[in-house]
């Protein structure tokens, strides 16, 4: 009998560590000589991380969320994998995706002989969890979305534990426990350092279709997506703002500008160039921390900055950018 494609869904809020875990799984699958497929979904029209998966069979679904506005694109992509199968398919949703919708697409009866959903791995950012749960520092939409990402998981990875105290970690652990069934493990990690055996364990026994349907109230409103405006994309109130045609930055000025941006920007990423440096850098702004990493010289990427946040004022971000780097008022 033909082997079904083993599917893993990676879910979790913006910056929680999905791509970090995805990289670990990819490395391990390569060691095991497994043929891999990856579906990467981004809110904006650019994936600044595609250089990480250069040699894989990767499909990027951009400019919307596969849980709502581009569900059809997800189905078409699944059809492509039916025609050209792989051993393992990894699906990383955007940080604001409701995984129930992705699960529902895979659970479609026409795919029953093609795909075997094995696990829904949800990353929880320990450094932000309590803030995101607080009515003072987050919106109802974000709290609902986080709950959906947590309650549908078959494995929770409580990541970024290096950024919080033991006491807070215990508090988050017990809050999470109240939301999920006893058999769903909560594994603590830094940089997703969970054994790949745990990550790849089959945890979905039978997919309860009626449950997926009941829970499928997507927290976003597909009708709000504006496909003509490539500058920013609405996901309910979560927007991605893209800055292109970038100058070569002074490192210190760039860091200062990022730190001074409004607090409701909870994620930033991009490819940039610094004065005095030949190579490009990839930058990640997550958990209010900036990470910079040299991009390998032979990788061709166009510099770009993506900033994601709640109800962002894209005009004021652009103004502050132009003021800071072009002295324009």
Ligand X SMILES: Nc1nc2c(ncn2[C@@H]2O[C@H](COP(=O)(O)OP(=O)(O)OP(=O)(O)O)[C@@H](O)[C@H]2O)c(=O)[nH]1
Residues forming the site for ligand X (CB under 6 A): 12, 14-20, 95, 123, 159-160, 162-163, 190-192, 267, 284, 286, 291
Output 265 or 286, the one with its CB closest to ligand X. Answer: 286
Place of tokens 């770009």: 304
Tell me the closest approach of the beta carbon of residue 312 to ligand X, in angstroms. Answer: 14
Min. distance of Cβ 319 from ligand X in angstroms? 24
Q: Between 111 and 303, whose beta carbon lies closer to ligand X?
A: 303
Q: Smallest distance, Å, CB 83 to ligand X? A: 28
Min dist. Cβ of residue 206 to ligand X (A): 28
C-beta closer to ligand X: residue 111 or 243: 243
Q: Which of 94, 150, 88, 91 is nearest to 123 (CA)?
A: 150
- Beta strands at 115-125 and 5-12: parallel, antiparallel or unpaired: parallel
Contact 291, 275 (CB under 8 A): no
The Cβ-side half-sphere exposure at 329, using a 13 Å CA radius, reads 0
Nearest residue (CB) to ligand X, 112 versus 292 = 292
Task: Please say which residue, 154 or 284, places its beta carbon nearer to ligand X.
Answer: 284
64 or 192: CB nearest ligand X: 192
- The CB-of-95 to ligand X minimum distance in angstroms stands at 3
Residue 23: CB minimum distance to ligand X, A: 8
Residue 48: CB minimum distance to ligand X, A? 9
Q: Closest CB to ligand X among 16 and 138?
A: 16
């Amino acid at each position: 009998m033909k082997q079904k494609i083993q599917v893993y869904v990676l879910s979790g809020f913006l910056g929680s560590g999905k791509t970090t875990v995805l990289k670990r799984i990819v490395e391990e699958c390569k060691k095991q000589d497994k043929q891999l497929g990856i579906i990467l979904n981004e809110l904006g029209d650019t994936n600044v991380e595609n250089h990480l998966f250069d040699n894989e069979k990767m499909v990027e679904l951009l400019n919307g969320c596969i849980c709502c506005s581009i569900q059809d694109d997800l189905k078409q992509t699944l059809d492509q994998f039916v025609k050209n199968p792989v051993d393992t398919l990894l699906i990383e949703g955007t940080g604001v995706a409701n995984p129930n919708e992705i699960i529902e697409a895979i659970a479609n009866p026409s795919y029953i002989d093609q795909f075997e959903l094995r696990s829904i791995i949800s990353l929880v950012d320990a450094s932000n969890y309590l803030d995101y749960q607080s009515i003072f520092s987050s919106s109802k939409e974000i709290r609902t979305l986080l709950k959906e990402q947590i309650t549908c998981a078959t494995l929770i990875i409580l990541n970024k534990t290096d950024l919080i105290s033991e006491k807070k970690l215990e508090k988050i652990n017990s809050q999470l426990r109240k939301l999920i069934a006893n058999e769903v493990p909560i594994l603590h990690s830094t940089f997703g350092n969970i054994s790949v055996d745990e990550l790849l364990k089959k945890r979905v026994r039978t997919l309860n279709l009626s449950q997926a349907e009941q829970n499928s109230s997507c927290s976003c409103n597909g009708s709000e997506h504006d496909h003509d405006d490539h500058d920013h994309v609405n996901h309910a109130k979560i927007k991605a703002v893209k800055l292109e045609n970038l100058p070569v930055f002074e490192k210190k000025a760039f860091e200062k500008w990022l730190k001074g941006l409004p607090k409701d920007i909870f994620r930033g990423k991009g490819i940039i160039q610094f004065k005095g440096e030949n190579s490009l850098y990839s930058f990640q702004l997550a958990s209010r921390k900036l990470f910079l990493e040299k991009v390998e010289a032979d990788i061709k990427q166009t510099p770009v900055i993506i900033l994601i946040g709640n109800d962002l004022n894209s005009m004021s971000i652009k103004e502050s950018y132009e003021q800071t780097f072009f002295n324009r008022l």
